[in-house]
Amino acid sequence: MHETTVILIEVGALLLLLALAGRFAARLGQSPIPFYMTVGLLFGTGGLLSLQASKPFLETGSEIGVVLLLLMLGLEYSPKELVGNLKKSARTGLWDALLNAIPGAVFGLLMGWGAIGAMVMAGVTWVSSSGVVAKLLTDMGRLGNRETPAVLSVLVMEDLAMAFYLPVLSAVVIGASLLQGAITVAIAVASVGLILFLAVRFGNRISRIFNPEHVETLVIGVLGLAMLIAGLAATVQVSSAVGAFLVGIALSGQVAHAAQKYLTPVRDIFAAIFFVFFGLTTDARQIPSALVPALLLAVVTMATKYLTGYLAARKVGVARPGRLRAGLVLIPRGEFSIIIAAMAVMAGADSFIASVAATYVLITVIVGPILVRLGDSSRVRNWLASKPAS
Amino acid sequence: MTVRIERIELPGIGFRDDIVTAEGRHVGVITHRDGHRDVVLYERDDPDTAIESVALNSHEADALAGLLGQTALVGHIADLGAGTMGLFTERLLLPHDSRFLDQPLGATEARTKTGVSIVAICRGDGVIASPTPQETLRKEDVLIAVGTRRGLDSLEKILAKNSL
């Protein structure tokens, strides 16, 4: 059989399987992310079957998936919101970083992965999944709740922090000498700062090159721009993900709304490929030995994340039940943790990191939504009501 | 009375406008980026928790706004009538011994003598809207009259007269 024929069969079957897994997830009220990853683990290295022919295709697809995930995330925020949030919630963002990145870093050191491993794990445990959390808030009818703006601003701060963290990480993982590393980091941070400034300042002009009325050229053009900038960013070690995120932020107004609407299905396809590809490249045989450390890490960082949300909600004067809700809803980790782990492994870090990160994300992204629903049950509410408010 | 509206940004989603009613209830409207709205109601004792959220597309939101706007307008006009124009609506029961019993409506000469318009007559379960002067008045008729305070008072006296 011709190779492309094999690719069609393999990818087609895989996508069909992902669709079934996604339906199953939706029925359980869960995010599809853990299901996509599990499908990947089943067919990957050390899994039941292996998909060798389509690996290069899936790898490229997974790269596009990262670009689209971050582009869409950037499109959700207007530059005004980012700057406003930075002023308002800088302190919350700092607590969040300290409470959640430090346990990851300590874990990385304890596992003997050295400074790079510590930095990777810090990122993995730090960032909640904006996608999963936003979906949970919508599904649970909580958009109107008073703690919700606090939860959203934690997410915004994390996403913004990633724009600086990822370039630094990619500079560090290539393992340059100290001086060379410092230069790369400086270039990376400076270019992110510059692009962010240009996006906030001249975003309207950048948006004007696209016509929001013409769907076809809009979709092709925005995707093209995002991939181009992502690629250019990667060549200067700023990481493709950050390049795409900044393009998303720079686009605003009608163009951003239209692009968001029409690119969402495209994003869904390639994001699924991204998660499945991470599963494919993770050695499923390592999962059992990763289970205990990942579980311990998950317990600790679910607690610290809960505390972050609790404090953020308390800061804006929300009562006890709202603080509890804010704490629980932030627990799921997702796309960013996987992006970070994937970056580290691609740069040649210990492959066991990927197994631990995968197991860790699977735990938090499954347990988080369950805890959120439990927190809303009448028994917990009554128990809270019986306690005096602090 | 002015109503205070508070706007809260919801990064990545849109924004929420809140009003607090005189009763102390919170009502919120979430405006999503794509233009659809959620009308949100809050628990009486816990203003942090949304108990009900109704999603409206832009047409439904328009219709609801029209509905609320309309009743607000009618209330506004009624207010104007009572306050500045001195125009009132009253329900007058035709007395049992009135001399206008079984007489045509025109015999009361309500409009010429008092400037009051009889806009409807309630009889039993039915209503005769815009009655003609030829309409005969019956026992237990209720006249819906619109006019000034003075006009309405004198019409009441006229109707109460029992002898020619």
Q: What is the pLDDT of residue A276?
A: 92
The three-state (H, E, C) secondary structure of A289-347, written as one string: HHHHHHHHHHHHHHHHHHHHHHHHHHHCCCCHHHHHHHHHHCCCCCHHHHHHHHHHHHC
> Phi-psi bin for B86: left (phi > 0), alpha (psi -120 to 50), beta?
left
Which amino acid, A316? Answer: V
Q: What is the band of A390 on the pLDDT scale with cuts at 50, 70, 90?
A: very low
> Is A88's Cβ below 8 Å from some Cβ in B?
no
The shortest CB-CB distance from A257 to any of B13, B33, B38 is to B33
DSSP single-letter state for residue B117: E
Q: What is the pLDDT of residue B11?
A: 84
Which of A331-340, A377-386, B2-11, B69-78 shows the highest mean pLDDT? A331-340
Please answer yes or no on whether A146 and B47 come within 8 Å at the CB atom: yes
β-strands B26-32, B14-20 pairing: antiparallel
Please answer yes or no on whether B53 and A143 come within 8 Å at the CB atom: yes
User: Chain B: residue nearest A152 by CA?
Assistant: B11
The distance of A27 to chain B (nearest Cα, Å) reads 22
Q: What is the pLDDT of residue B80?
A: 47
Give the pLDDT mean for A169-195: 76
Please answer yes or no on whether A322 and B38 come within 8 Å at the CB atom: no
> Is B53's Cβ below 8 Å from some Cβ in A?
yes
Give the pLDDT mean for B43-70: 81
The distance of A77 to chain B (nearest Cα, Å) reads 5
Residue of B12 and B162 predicted with greater confidence: B12
pLDDT at B84 exceeding the cut of 60:
no
pLDDT at A74 exceeding the cut of 80:
yes
Please answer yes or no on whether B16 and A257 come within 8 Å at the CB atom: no
> Would you call A109 exposed, middle or buried from its count of C-beta atoms within 10 A (0-12, 13-18, 19+)?
middle
Give the pLDDT mean for B47-74: 78
Q: What is the band of B2 on the pLDDT scale with cuts at 50, 70, 90?
A: low
Check: CB of residue B155 under 8 Å from CB of residue B114: yes
pLDDT at B1 exceeding the cut of 60:
no
This model of the complex carries an ipTM of 0.70
Within 8 A of B11 by CB-CB distance, chain A residues are: 76-77, 81-82, 85, 149, 152-153, 155-156
Report d(CA A361, CA A342) in Å as an integer: 13
pLDDT at A88 exceeding the cut of 50:
yes
User: Chain B: residue nearest A75 by CA?
Assistant: B12
Neighbours of A234 (CB within 10 A): 17
Long-range contacts of B121-130 (CB under 8 A, 24+ apart): B122/B91
Residue of B2 and A350 predicted with greater confidence: A350
β-strands B14-20, B37-42 pairing: unpaired
Within 8 A of A76 by CB-CB distance, chain B residues are: 11-12
Q: What is the pLDDT of residue B92?
A: 83
Residue of A303 and B3 predicted with greater confidence: A303
| Closest residue by Cα to residue A333 from A359, A313, A296 | A359
Q: Tell how far CA A130 is from the center of its chain.
A: 7
Please answer yes or no on whether B10 and A143 come within 8 Å at the CB atom: yes
Please answer yes or no on whether A143 and B48 come within 8 Å at the CB atom: no
The shortest CB-CB distance from B48 to any of A76, A82, A321 is to A321
pLDDT at A173 exceeding the cut of 60:
yes
Q: What is the band of A68 on the pLDDT scale with cuts at 50, 70, 90?
A: very high
Q: What is the pLDDT of residue B154?
A: 87
**What is the rounded radius of gyration, in angstroms, for the C-alpha atoms of chain A?**
20
pLDDT at A167 exceeding the cut of 70:
yes
pLDDT at A52 exceeding the cut of 80:
no
> Is A173's Cβ below 8 Å from some Cβ in B?
no
Q: Using one digit for the tens of pLDDT, what is the confidence trace for B109-153? A: 888 888 888 888 888 778 888 888 888 888 888 888 888 888 888
Q: What is the pLDDT of residue A284?
A: 85
Check: CB of residue B66 under 8 Å from CB of residue B93: no
User: Chain B: residue nearest A313 by CA?
Assistant: B48
Check: CB of residue B39 under 8 Å from CB of residue B17: no
The distance of A86 to chain B (nearest Cα, Å) reads 12
Within 8 A of A148 by CB-CB distance, chain B residues are: 10
